[in-house]
Amino acid sequence: MHELHRAEYLQALGIPSYVPRYVLPLAPAPRQAQLPVAEAAPQNPLPRSADQILDSVRRQAQPEAQSPQSAHGQTQGGLVAPARETAPQVARELESLVADTRPPAAVTESRAEPLVAAEPLTQVAPFVLSCWWIGDEVLAVDSREPGVALPVEALFNNMVRALGWQDLPREQERLRWPMAENRFAAAASASDARDTCSIWLEAASARRPVKSIWLMGQQARDFCAPVALEGDVTAWNNLHLLAMPSLSELLQAPARKREVWQLLQRLYPEQTRAR
């Protein structure tokens, strides 16, 4: 009985086998246990590739030494032996099949070329967008600078008052990016932010239709614009997209208020005519 059978018998009897990791004191010298002889893996007689089949057919198609009787195609019974003309035909058919199934040389060479690493994704720092709806006139999206205590609300109210919209209904909302903090997920890229914010803007403008949209600040222009901006004013879906500095930029650089006011005068001539 070899060691594997002995262990199986002990396991069937419910007796646990104990094998020490080192030689115990007063124990006999260890000896190699008898193990069963490993059986050789059976060889697969079938061919493994089309090339192997083609080689065997070519060997059969080679001319062989024939006896005088086989050369005349006769046997002792007077019957004519079939000539070996099918082997070359089978070889030609296999060669055509192998040539058809193999990829062209251009594809093989292109696969051999080293793969070019993809460009790294551009990461985007978290940002906050303040959004105001002023009646059905305008949707203003302003890029906020975190940690900067500036009276942006007062400046926006002055702009609304200058256009005569102070009595229109107003709604306010904030959009944070990323929308959900997940430290186990991969960092959001610029393309993700652009897709999310632009889709949000399209849905917001469809839910509350307005005549124009103000994109104020870099984040609002880069990530919320549904189309590529062309200058200060871009037409989109029968409304105007205005590219403007953010309220924080206007407060930090008051000289830029003039260009914003000129843009508003050009787009809203009736509202700014008496002011």
Per-residue confidence band for 186, with pLDDT thresholds at 50, 70 and 90: low
- Into which CATH architecture does domain 127-272 fall? 3-Layer(aba) Sandwich (3.40)
Can you tell me which residue has the tokens 């070996």? 84
Q: Which has the closest alpha carbon to 131: 177, 162, 188? A: 177
Q: What percent of the chain has pLDDT over 90?
A: 33
Per DSSP, the chain holds a count of helices (H) and strands (E) of: 11, 6
Question: What global pTM score does this model have?
Answer: 0.54
CA–CA gap between residue 178 and residue 129 (Å, rounded): 11
Question: What is the band of 13 on the pLDDT scale with cuts at 50, 70, 90?
Answer: confident
Quick one: tokens of 41? 């893996």
Domain ranges of the chain: 127-272
pLDDT, tens only, 139-163: 999 998 767 778 999 999 999 999 9
Dihedral pair phi/psi, residue 74, rounded to 5°: -130, 155
Highest mean pLDDT pick, 118-122, 142-146, 183-187, 220-224: 220-224
Tens of pLDDT, residue by residue over 39-98, are 766 666 666 666 777 677 677 666 554 444 444 444 444 444 444 556 667 667 767 766
Task: Judge whether 237 and 210 are in contact, CB under 8 Å.
Answer: no
